[in-house]
């Protein structure tokens, strides 16, 4: 089973993908996480990616496609794509890549949420530097300040989770990513979920709407 999680930054794609991947025993592929790892390792690709990510801008399609296409072709298991595709061109290229290996996307889960709500979520978001667990200073505080409950790692404020960068990311979501919603709706693959509910309810709704 191959699933795409679609939604604005802060809509809960990463949190939900981690929960759903365990439920169905499939992989979670987050392009943002892959890129942040490249940045951490200071690879050539990481340095290039950082010049866009630090401004809250999207990385050019050819870079992200180059990074993902071989990976997708080599996978034997089903997966959740989180943060990809993010442009119509990426969505079309994904279709072409999957065609070459006789695969397709089964579901596109669209996490629907008001943009005002995501702004508030993003400024309050903190992420564990080690295991990636996410917290929110208003709604999901760590037990100990700046320390991950799960692994004891340090919690960081992502450099793109500051108001000016958030606005740039939301603008590119509206201009480049939102058009993908109708692309998948026309293909009858879209499942729309109210992402404004508690994260437990969102998980339940996703599972209820996916049939294996």
**Which residues of this chain interact with ligand AMP, rule CB under 6 A?**
9, 31-32, 35, 52-53, 56-59, 64, 83-84, 86, 90, 160, 169
Of 173, 191, 124, 184, the residue nearest 9 (C-alpha): 173
Q: Catalytic one among 21, 125, 126, 165?
A: 125
By C-beta, is 73 or 144 nearer to ligand AMP? 73
Smallest gap from residue 31 Cβ to ligand AMP (A): 3
By C-beta, is 8 or 203 nearer to ligand AMP? 8
Q: Decide if 86 is catalytic.
A: yes
Q: Catalytic one among 55, 119, 140, 158?
A: 158
Cis omega before residue 92 (within 30°)?
no
Cβ atoms 199, 108 nearer than 8 A: no
Smallest gap from residue 53 Cβ to ligand AMP (A): 4
Q: Cα–Cα distances in Å, from 99 out to 44, 89, 182?
A: 30, 15, 21
Burial of 44 from C-beta contacts in 10 A (0-12 / 13-18 / 19+): exposed
Q: Which residues are catalytic?
A: 13, 86, 125, 158, 169
């Amino acid at each position: 089973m191959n699933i795409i999680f679609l939604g604005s930054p802060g809509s809960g794609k990463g949190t939900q993908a981690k929960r759903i991947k365990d439920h169905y025993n499939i992989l979670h592929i987050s392009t943002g996480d892959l890129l942040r790892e490249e940045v951490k390792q200071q690879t050539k690709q990481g340095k290039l990616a950082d010049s866009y990510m630090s401004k809250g801008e999207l990385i050019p399609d050819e870079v992200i496609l180059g990074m993902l296409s071989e990976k997708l072709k080599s996978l034997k298991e089903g997966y959740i794509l989180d943060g990809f595709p993010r442009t119509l061109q990426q969505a079309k290229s994904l279709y072409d890549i999957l065609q070459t290996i006789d695969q397709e996307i089964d579901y596109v889960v669209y996490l629907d949420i008001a943009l005002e709500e995501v702004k508030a979520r993003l400024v309050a978001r903190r992420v564990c530097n080690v295991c990636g667990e996410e917290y929110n200073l208003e709604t999901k505080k760590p037990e100990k300040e700046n320390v991950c409950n799960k692994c004891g790692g340090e919690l960081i404020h992502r450099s793109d989770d500051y108001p000016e960068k958030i606005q740039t990311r939301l603008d590119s979501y509206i201009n480049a990513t939102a058009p993908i919603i109708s692309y998948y709706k026309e293909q009858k693959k879209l499942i729309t979920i109210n992402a404004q509910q508690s994260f437990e309810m969102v998980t339940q709704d996703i599972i209820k709407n996916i049939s294996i």
